[in-house]
Amino acid sequence: MGNCIECPFHGWQFQGEDGKCISIPYAEKVPDFARVRTWPSCEVNGMLLVWYHCEGVSPTWAVPEQREITTKEWVFRGQTEHLVDAHIQEIPENAADMAHLAFLHGPAILGGSDLRYTRSKLWDFMKHIWKAEWQPEPEPNKHCSQLLVQHTATIFGKHISLMDLMVSARQVGPGLVFLIFEHAFLGRGIILQTVTPLEPLLQNVVHKIYYQKNMPAIIPKFILRAECIQFERDITIWNNKQHLPKPLLVREDSSIQKHRRWYAQFYSEKSTRLLAQKEGLDW
């Protein structure tokens, strides 16, 4: 309400700048001690974002504005929301896990997201082919990383150029990703992915798609649906795996270790640590 946040329970209003309560509808006087903690925040790309640092350090970087969203060249065309039972680092780490792309995301989206059926012979005539490269960005953007993905598809072994898609995924900080899509005929757009921790091993993941307003809405809705199917394949994995500090890797998995070194910057001395999980079935 204006520059205040109003509680929907009793209508108390708190100033955004300092957290001081300025209105209690049923009270004669607002006591001086009525105030709440404030958090550094910003409104950008249609989202409200809050900075959290467990040691109270002020923001050290800003969230970039996506020009096409601000100018309304790209318009909102839908969103998905998922709860993921996993360590927060699992989700961005997928960007550097090249080997999982072919195995988990290679089978046709026609097979859906239930991993019991994705490799069914019924859908074997179609394959997704991914070429990807992940790199951290240099200063002054060391809090960012880039994943470049080239997607093609084959049907009965024949390349289908209509399915060619270039995706640039820029990770900004520990929980925000800008996925920009470019297609030769179907135009450009973006999926904004946010990962918000609700509990130590529970993440809320939202995908919002913005697309060229001169393109039929069915196109971005199809892209979001296809992305959702692939993402739900990942969720099945995340919901059933442990985040190990020293996973068993081979030389070809070196980018995962590189990603872990990059992501380590988002922890500090007082960051909450999960107790080491034992191998086996006991808790």
Q: What is the pLDDT of residue 157?
A: 95
Return the DSSP state at 61: S
Torsion sign, CA atoms 92, 96, 97, 98: positive
Q: pLDDT band for position 34 (50/70/90)?
A: very high
Do residues 95 and 122 make contact, with C-beta atoms less than 8 angstroms apart? no
Backbone phi, psi, residue 181, to 5°: -105, 140
Overall pTM > 0.85: yes
pLDDT band for 269, please (50, 70, 90 cuts). Answer: confident
Of 166-170, 172-176, 185-189, 278-282, least confident by mean pLDDT is 278-282
Name beta bridge partners: 191. Answer: 179, 209
144 close to 174: Cβ distance less than 8 angstroms:
no
pLDDT digits (tens, 9 = 90+) for 227-251: 999 999 999 999 999 999 899 999 9
Whole-number pLDDT of residue 171: 98
Q: Is 181 exposed, middle or buried (0-12, 13-18, 19+ CB in 10 A)?
A: buried
DSSP output for 96-161: G-HHHHHHHHSB-GGG-S-TTTTT-GGGTTEEEEEEEEEEE--TT-TTEEEEEEEEEEEETTEE-G
Residue 72 identity: K
What does the pLDDT look like over 75-96, one tens digit per residue?
999 999 999 999 999 999 999 9
Say whether domain 65-266 belongs to CATH 3.90.380.10: yes
pLDDT digit string, tens, across residues 111-155: 999 999 999 999 999 999 999 999 999 999 999 999 999 999 999
